[in-house]
């Protein structure tokens, strides 16, 4: 049993931010456990842009945002153990009940025991404080109760995203997406860019579930229909999906041929391994509750780190410390969040893009700009954005480029936004390109990409052909 002052479970955006902040606060005995082989969490597969607008005032892709935090993390004394999957995090009392008298922990400073599995076997850690930064998981088909058969070709959006962006695998040709949450929208665009046909996105509510920015840039840009008040009520196909049946609010049903069904029907905190109401256990990021923006997740990680510091100081003085992020208060935090999300949904329902108005997507403020006189923005960006949207919409193109001599890819972006009208043609160019390893985040892959006057740069990094 290894003893640590603080153990952080998960090296995604929440865990990395918490670790960096704890290091800034002077904590030197911090260990981060990460189940994947590198830090970054879900950011590694989120190769699209839209990250860092509030935190850094820049529009980064997921891998770039990850890179910034990874660099910060590597410049600290924080220990990072990769390939370590946490199977259980329990209070010392619970642990003591289940082990032999010799193994018991009698150190009053230690509160939590974490058991992890690594490539070489099981490892256990006892810590004064543990931060659960394990992110969230997707709700799958079972939770939706969709009737029909169980063929291959039904994936959650995150799984499809991982297969495409991390493994260079083509998931399907004709795609129906269930749920208009952000990942569903992002995947609608991603499938379209990579040559698959997205037939429709169905949403059971009467309003798009994802951010307005994503609705516009992922669906409207590509003419993908969003069917509101509609559900997929049946999946057909003996071996691979052959069709789905969709049903609208009037009960009218229609069969839609497809070979792939993508489910983006909500996320849930992934904390099934953590014992409830455990002293010294704290939550942050999407493991606390699901956030819309990674910037907020990082912020949450930092705030939790502050509370952990407060807790450790109080424990030293043998005092109590009340934290909103503590295991004991988690349900209250989640309830508050649920109420907030419900409120936002109602507000959103009342402020739809009604043709005349465009919701500015340059930052999360979401100002409604009147396209007749370009007013309504809280800052000058709004008018510029709306004018461009009307006259010549531009987008940052994100995709991946094949690594020479390997079946793997590295994620890329255009440095500047390019005309929307050039996007599909630019994809053809990207798909013929190769890049040699090693390639680092920020490396220029092409100076004048597709003669559009912008550079194509790597957002991820790959050191060798087959790691």
Partner 1 sequence: MLIKDVIIIGAGAVGCALAKVFSEYRMNVCVIEKEADVAFGTSGRNSGVVHAGFNNKPGSFKAKFCVEGSRGFENLAEELGIEYKKTGKLVTGFSDDDRKKLEELKKRGEINGVEGLEIIDGNRIKDICGSVKGNFALWSPQTAVFDPFEYTIALAETAAANGTGFVFNERVIEIKVTDSGRFKVMTENNSFESDILINCAGLGSAEICKMLGVNRYDINPCRGEYHILAKPGKNNDIGEPKIPVYPVPDEKKGVLGVHLTPTVGGNLMAGPGAEFIEDKDDYANEEDMMKLLSEGMVRLIPDLQNVPVIRSFSGIRPKLTDSKNEIIEDFVIEKSEEYEGFYYLVGIESPGITASMPIAKYLFDRIEKDFGESFEKKKNCKSRKDMFSRREYKGLRKMVCRCEGVTEERILRAFDDIVLLGAEPTIKGIKNRTRAFMGSCQGCFCTIDTTELLGRERNVSPDRLTYSGKGSEMFEGILK
Choose the binding region for partner 1 from 146-154, 344-352, 356-364, 374-382 (rule: CB under 8 A): 146-154
Q: Which is nearer to partner 1, 32 or 53 (CB)?
A: 32
Binding mask 68-107 for partner 1 (x = CB under 8 A): ---------------x-x-x--------------------
Q: Measured from the CB of residue 51, what is the shortest distance to partner 1 in angstroms?
A: 21
Q: Which of 81, 105, 233, 420 binds partner 1 (CB under 8 A)?
A: 233
Q: Measured from the CB of residue 4, what is the shortest distance to partner 1 in angstroms?
A: 20
Q: Measured from the CB of residue 60, what is the shortest distance to partner 1 in angstroms?
A: 23
Q: Which is nearer to partner 1, 99 or 314 (CB)?
A: 99
- Which of 177, 172, 237 has the alpha carbon at shortest distance from 204? 177
- For residues 414 and 395, what is the distance between their CA atoms, to the nearest angstrom? 9
Q: Is 28 in the site for partner 1 (CB under 8 A)?
A: no
Pairing of strands 121-132, 281-283: parallel
- Can you point out the beta strands (E) in 206-331? 226-227, 231-236, 243-247, 253-257, 260-263, 267-269, 281-283
Judged by CB under 8 A, the number of residues near partner 1 is 55
Q: Is 150 in the site for partner 1 (CB under 8 A)?
A: yes
Q: Which is nearer to partner 1, 120 or 373 (CB)?
A: 120
Q: Which is nearer to partner 1, 167 or 345 (CB)?
A: 167
Q: Which is nearer to partner 1, 151 or 393 (CB)?
A: 151
Q: Which of 155, 282, 311, 325 binds partner 1 (CB under 8 A)?
A: 155
- For residues 179 and 160, what is the distance between their CA atoms, to the nearest angstrom? 14
- Which of 271, 289, 258 has the alpha carbon at shortest distance from 90? 271
Q: Measured from the CB of residue 398, what is the shortest distance to partner 1 in angstroms?
A: 14
Q: Which is nearer to partner 1, 400 or 454 (CB)?
A: 400
Q: Which is nearer to partner 1, 60 or 449 (CB)?
A: 449
Q: Which of 26, 102, 119, 346 binds partner 1 (CB under 8 A)?
A: 119
3-state secondary structure of 17: helix
Q: Which of 166, 228, 324, 446 binds partner 1 (CB under 8 A)?
A: 166
Q: Measured from the CB of residue 388, what is the shortest distance to partner 1 in angstroms?
A: 30
Q: Is 313 in the site for partner 1 (CB under 8 A)?
A: no
CB 124 within 8 A of CB 258: no
Helix (H) or strand (E) holding 158: helix 157-167
Q: Which of 41, 62, 148, 301 binds partner 1 (CB under 8 A)?
A: 148
- For residues 271 and 292, what is the distance between their CA atoms, to the nearest angstrom? 18
Q: Which of residues 428-457 bind partner 1 (CB under 8 A)?
A: 431
Q: Which is nearer to partner 1, 129 or 262 (CB)?
A: 262
- Which of 329, 281, 293, 321 has the alpha carbon at shortest distance from 134? 281
Pairing of strands 154-156, 260-263: parallel
Q: What DSSP string runs through 21-87? A: HHHHTT---EEEE-SSSSS-GGGGT--SEEESTTTTSS-EEHHHHHHHHHHHHHTSS-EEE-S-EEE
Q: Is 326 in the site for partner 1 (CB under 8 A)?
A: no
Q: Measured from the CB of residue 247, what is the shortest distance to partner 1 in angstroms?
A: 10
Choose the binding region for partner 1 from 111-119, 219-227, 361-369, 371-379 (rule: CB under 8 A): 111-119
Choose the binding region for partner 1 from 167-175, 198-206, 306-314, 448-456 (rule: CB under 8 A): 167-175
Q: Is 121 in the site for partner 1 (CB under 8 A)?
A: yes
Q: Measured from the CB of residue 409, what is the shortest distance to partner 1 in angstroms?
A: 7
Phi and psi, residue 60, nearest 5°:
-90, 165
Q: What DSSP string runs through 388-454? A: HHHH--EE--EEEEEETTSS-EEEEEESS-EEGGGHHHHHHHHTT-EEPSPB-TT-EEESSGGGSS-
- For residues 53 and 57, what is the distance between their CA atoms, to the nearest angstrom? 4
97: exposed, middle or buried (Cβ count in 10 Å: 0-12, 13-18, 19+):
exposed
CA 147 to chain centre: 29
Q: Which is nearer to partner 1, 298 or 409 (CB)?
A: 409
Q: Measured from the CB of residue 41, what is the shortest distance to partner 1 in angstroms?
A: 12
Q: What DSSP string runs through 235-260? A: EE-SSB--EEEEE-TT--EEEEE-SE
Report the residue count for the chain: 467
Phi and psi, residue 81, nearest 5°:
-110, 110
Q: Which of residues 237-296 bind partner 1 (CB under 8 A)?
A: 238-240, 271-276
Binding site residues, partner 1, CB under 8 A: 35, 83, 85, 87, 117-121, 137-138, 140-143, 145, 147-153, 155-156, 158-159, 162-164, 166-173, 194, 233-234, 238-240, 271-276, 400, 402, 407, 409, 431
């Amino acid at each position: 049993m290894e003893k640590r002052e603080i153990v952080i479970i998960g090296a995604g955006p929440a865990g990395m931010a918490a670790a960096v902040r704890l290091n800034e606060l002077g904590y030197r005995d911090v260990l981060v456990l990460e189940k994947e082989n590198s830090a970054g969490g879900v950011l590694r597969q989120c190769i699209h842009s839209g990250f860092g607008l509030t935190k850094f005032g820049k529009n980064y892709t997921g891998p770039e945002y990850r890179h910034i935090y990874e660099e910060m993390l590597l410049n600290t004394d924080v220990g990072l153990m990769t390939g370590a999957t946490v199977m259980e995090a329990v209070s010392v009392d619970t642990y003591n009940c289940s082990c032999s008298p010799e193994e018991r922990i009698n150190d009053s400073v230690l509160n939590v025991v974490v058991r992890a599995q690594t490539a070489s076997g099981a490892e256990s850690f006892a810590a004064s404080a543990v931060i659960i930064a394990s992110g969230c998981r997707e709700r799958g088909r079972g939770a939706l109760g969709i009737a029909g058969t169980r063929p291959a070709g039904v994936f959650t959006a995150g799984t499809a995203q991982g297969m495409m962006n991390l493994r260079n695998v083509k998931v399907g040709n004709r795609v129906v997406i269930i749920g208009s949450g952000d990942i569903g929208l992002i995947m609608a665009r991603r499938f379209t860019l990579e040559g698959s046909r997205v037939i429709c996105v169905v949403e059971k509510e009467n309003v798009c579930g994802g951010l307005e920015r994503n609705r516009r840039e992922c669906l409207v840009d590509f003419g993908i229909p969003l069917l509101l008040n509609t559900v997929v009520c049946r999946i057909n196909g003996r071996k691979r999906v052959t069709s789905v049946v969709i049903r609208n609010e009037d009960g009218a049903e229609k069969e839609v041929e497809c070979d792939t069904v993508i489910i983006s029907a909500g996320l849930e905190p992934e904390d099934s391994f953590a014992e409830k109401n455990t002293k010294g256990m704290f939550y942050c990021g999407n493991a606390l509750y699901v956030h819309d923006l990674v910037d907020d997740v990082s912020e949450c990680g930092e705030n939790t780190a502050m509370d952990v510091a407060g807790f450790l100081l109080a424990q030293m003085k043998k005092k109590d410390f009340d934290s909103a992020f503590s295991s004991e208060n988690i349900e209250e935090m989640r309830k508050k969040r649920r109420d907030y999300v419900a409120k936002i949904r109602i507000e959103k329902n009342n402020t739809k893009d009604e043709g005349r108005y465009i919701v500015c997507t340059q930052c999360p403020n979401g100002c409604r700009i009147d396209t007749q006189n370009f007013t309504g923005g809280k800052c000058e960006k709004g008018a510029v954005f709306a004018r461009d949207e009307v006259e010549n919409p531009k987008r940052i193109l994100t995709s991946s480029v094949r690594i020479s001599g390997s079946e793997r890819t590295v994620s890329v972006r255009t440095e500047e936004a390019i005309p929307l009208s050039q996007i599909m043609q630019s994809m053809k160019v990207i798909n013929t390109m190769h890049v040699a390893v090693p390639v680092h985040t920020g490396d220029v892959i092409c100076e004048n990409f597709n003669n559009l006057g912008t550079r194509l740069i790597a957002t991820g990094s790959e050191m060798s052909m087959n790691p």
